[in-house]
């Protein structure tokens, strides 16, 4: 194991809290902490995985700074596989900053984002896919998202990648045997069998790729834009779905100027709800920018809730809106049904490409129908079985797709009788794409990009 400098960071969020943690990893961690810690015995004598009560003293003034519990985890049975100390102190920003600065004065360096997890990866405790899941656990927005991340941390995806890798290696070995012994009298590579095996592997990769949409949904939420003309009740709908008065609602058209984003949980599926400015052509400068943002939100959305005021006669703007909204990702919603209770809406439903949901954002009537319809529109209403690996990272999706196209080319090569060297090359490229997922193969830039997303102290 290569020895890296000892690094330290505050691992708990900034701000006041009951408890805060300053964490340090590296071969000098225990020594550095011992210089400012006074307890029943020095940490150097503490057994691994113990909590040690004591006080932190300012090394210059010898003044007590805080009463603490220090966790000691010794190499190699720690998160980073290095010696780790975790000072559990009171969660005030001044205390935390002081203890961190004592560590830095004592010779530690400030940890970069995700540096603890990066070390866990470099020291072989986690592979790269597992390390990425750590950030995902922290960012999980629903129970389902958390379970997927936990399964990835447990090695679910990595196992699948390893087994795919193994299958490709077998085909590669057969192909390479043909190259090495081409002059000798050995059995020829059974090309149709190799081709069939490649197709089978590709099918498994395809199944993984197909989970990516669900993965992104569980990981980041479904981008759901509420669009419609001014005053139809978009902000009221956002508030009704959030069950709190988040957005300003008034009877004045053009109330919402900027997009507002909030996360809600619909049957375990996280939705990133986006309230937008009402779409109308004759807007003032501020509103015009708002309208541009609305159009962008609509374009980038996975799902659109297109809202109409059911108590009003449709007009040309409604017709124009209907032509600009992509029907395949839209749920149509007729609002203000309290105004025509028991009667047909004034708005002509025949204009809509699909059956709308009729609601009142004011009285919350029909809200349950709406959530049912949203859940059905996303993932067909059910979350895929979470026991199976699910692709949640854009990076993994890209590499799987790359691997798949190399395998296709190898299979095609077999079909048309391409030289074995060339086929072996395609197979090696497929392997290296898969290796990049688990980090068998990596360059520092890749690690920088991945761990940059992490918080400091993780």
Q: Contact residues for Mg ion (CB under 5 A)?
A: 234-235, 255-256
* 294 counts as binding ligand GTP under rule CB under 6 A: no
Angle 358-347-308 from CA coordinates, rounded to 5° = 55
Q: Does residue number 11 form part of the binding site for ligand GTP (CB under 6 A)?
A: no
Q: How far is the CB of 331 from ligand GTP (least distance, A)?
A: 16
Q: Return the structure tokens found at 55.
A: 């006080």
Nearest approach in angstroms of CB 363 to ligand GTP is: 7
Name the minimum Å distance from CB 354 to ligand GTP: 21
For ligand GTP (CB under 6 A), the number of binding residues is: 24
Q: How far apart are CA 98 and CA 106, in angstroms?
A: 12
Cα(206)–Cα(220) distance, rounded to whole angstroms? 22
Nearer to ligand GTP (CB atom), residue 26 or residue 278: 278
Binding partner of residue 145 among ligand GTP, Mg ion, none, CB cut-off 5 to 8 Å per kind: none
Quick one: which of 427, 406, 434 has its CA closest to 171?
Answer: 427
> Which one of Mg ion, ligand GTP, none is in contact with 133 (Cβ closer than 5 to 8 A by kind)?
none
Among the candidate windows 248-256, 389-397, 430-438, 450-458, which touches ligand GTP by CB under 6 A? 248-256
Angle at 54 between CA 48 and CA 59, to 5 degrees: 105
Q: 4 vs 255, which CB is nearer to ligand GTP?
A: 255
Q: Which of 92, 143, 254, 268 binds ligand GTP (CB under 6 A)?
A: 254
Spatial distance between the Cα atoms of 388 and 138, rounded to a whole number of angstroms: 21
* Nearest CB to Mg ion, comparing residues 255 and 401: 255
Residue from 196, 168, 199, 173 nearest 186 by CA: 173
Min CB(351)–ligand GTP separation in Å = 19
Stretch that binds ligand GTP, among 87-95, 119-127, 312-320, 334-342 (CB under 6 A): 334-342
Residue 414's SS3 state is helix
Determine if 231 is a binding residue for ligand GTP (CB under 6 A): yes
Question: Shortest distance, CB of residue 255 to ligand GTP, whole angstroms?
Answer: 4
Binder among 23, 336, 373, 458 for ligand GTP (CB under 6 A): 336
* 204 lines the binding site for ligand GTP (CB under 6 A): no
88 binds ligand GTP (CB under 6 A): no
Nearest to 20 by CA among 117, 75, 98, 87: 87
Q: Are 96 and 12 within 8 A, CB to CB?
A: yes
Cα angle, residue 193 at apex, residues 189 and 194 outer, rounded to 5°: 65
| Burial of residue 180 (number of CB atoms within 10 Å: 0-12, 13-18, 19+) | exposed
Alpha helices in 301-378 (DSSP H): 316-324, 367-377
Does position 120 interact with ligand GTP (CB under 6 A)? The reply is no
Q: Is 10 exposed, middle or buried (0-12, 13-18, 19+ CB in 10 A)?
A: buried
In this chain, which residue has its C-beta nearest to ligand GTP? Answer: 278
Q: Smallest distance, Å, CB 18 to ligand GTP?
A: 39
* Partner interacting with residue 107 (select from Mg ion, ligand GTP, none; CB below 5-8 Å by kind): none
- CB of 130 or CB of 276, closer to ligand GTP: 276
Contacts of 80 (CB under 8 A, 6+ apart): 25, 116, 119, 120, 123, 125
5/272 Cα distance (integer angstroms): 41
Q: Which does 231 bind (CB under 5 to 8 A by kind): Mg ion, ligand GTP, none?
A: ligand GTP
Binding site for ligand GTP (CB under 6 A): 228, 230-236, 249-251, 253-256, 277-278, 335-336, 338-339, 360-362
């Amino acid at each position: 194991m290569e020895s890296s400098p000892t690094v330290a960071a505050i691992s708990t969020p900034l701000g006041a809290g009951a408890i805060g943690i300053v964490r340090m990893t590296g071969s000098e961690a225990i020594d550095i902490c011992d210089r400012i810690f006074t307890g029943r015995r020095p940490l150097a004598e503490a057994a691994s995985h113990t909590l040690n009560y004591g006080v932190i003293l300012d090394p210059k003034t010898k003044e007590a700074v805080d009463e603490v519990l220090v966790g000691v985890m010794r190499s190699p049975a720690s998160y980073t596989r290095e010696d780790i100390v975790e000072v559990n102190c009171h969660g005030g920003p001044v205390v935390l900053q002081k203890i961190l600065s004592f560590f830095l004065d004592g010779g530690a360096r400030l940890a970069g984002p995700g540096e603890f997890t990066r070390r866990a990866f470099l020291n072989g405790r986690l592979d790269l896919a597992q390390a990425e899941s750590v950030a995902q656990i922290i960012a999980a927005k629903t129970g389902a998202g958390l379970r997927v991340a936990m399964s990835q941390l447990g090695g679910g995806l990595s196992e699948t990648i390893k087994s795919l890798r193994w299958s490709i290696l077998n085909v590669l070995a057969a192909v390479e045997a043909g190259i090495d012994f081409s002059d000798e009298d050995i059995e020829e590579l059974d090309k149709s069998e190799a081709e069939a095996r490649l197709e089978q592997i590709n099918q498994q990769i395809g199944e993984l790729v197909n989970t990516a949409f669900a993965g992104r949904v569980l990981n980041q939420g479904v981008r759901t834009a509420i669009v419609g003309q001014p005053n139809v009740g978009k902000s009221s709908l956002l508030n009704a779905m959030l069950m709190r008065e988040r957005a300003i609602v008034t009877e004045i058209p053009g109330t919402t100027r900027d997009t507002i984003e909030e996360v809600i949980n619909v049957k375990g599926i996280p939705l990133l709800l986006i309230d937008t400015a009402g779409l109308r052509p004759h807007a003032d400068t501020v509103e015009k920018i708002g309208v541009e943002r609305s159009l962008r939100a609509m374009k980038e959305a996975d799902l659109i809730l297109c809202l109409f005021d059911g108590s009003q006669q449709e007009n040309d703007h409604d017709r124009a809106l209907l032509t600009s909204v992509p029907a395949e990702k839209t749920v149509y919603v007729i609002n203000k049904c309290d105004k025509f209770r028991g009667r047909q809406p004034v708005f002509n439903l025949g204009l809509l490409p699909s059956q709308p949901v009729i609601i009142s954002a004011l009285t919350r009537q029909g809200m349950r129908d709406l959530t049912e319809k949203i859940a059905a529109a996303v993932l067909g209403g059910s979350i895929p079985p979470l026991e199976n690996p699910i692709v949640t990272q854009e990076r993994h999706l890209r590499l799987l797709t790359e691997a798949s196209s190399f395998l296709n080319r190898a299979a095609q090569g077999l079909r048309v009788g391409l030289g074995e060297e060339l086929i072996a090359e395609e197979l090696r490229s497929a392997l290296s794409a898969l290796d990049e997922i688990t980090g068998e193969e990596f360059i520092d830039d890749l690690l920088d990009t991945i761990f940059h997303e992490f918080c400091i102290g993780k």
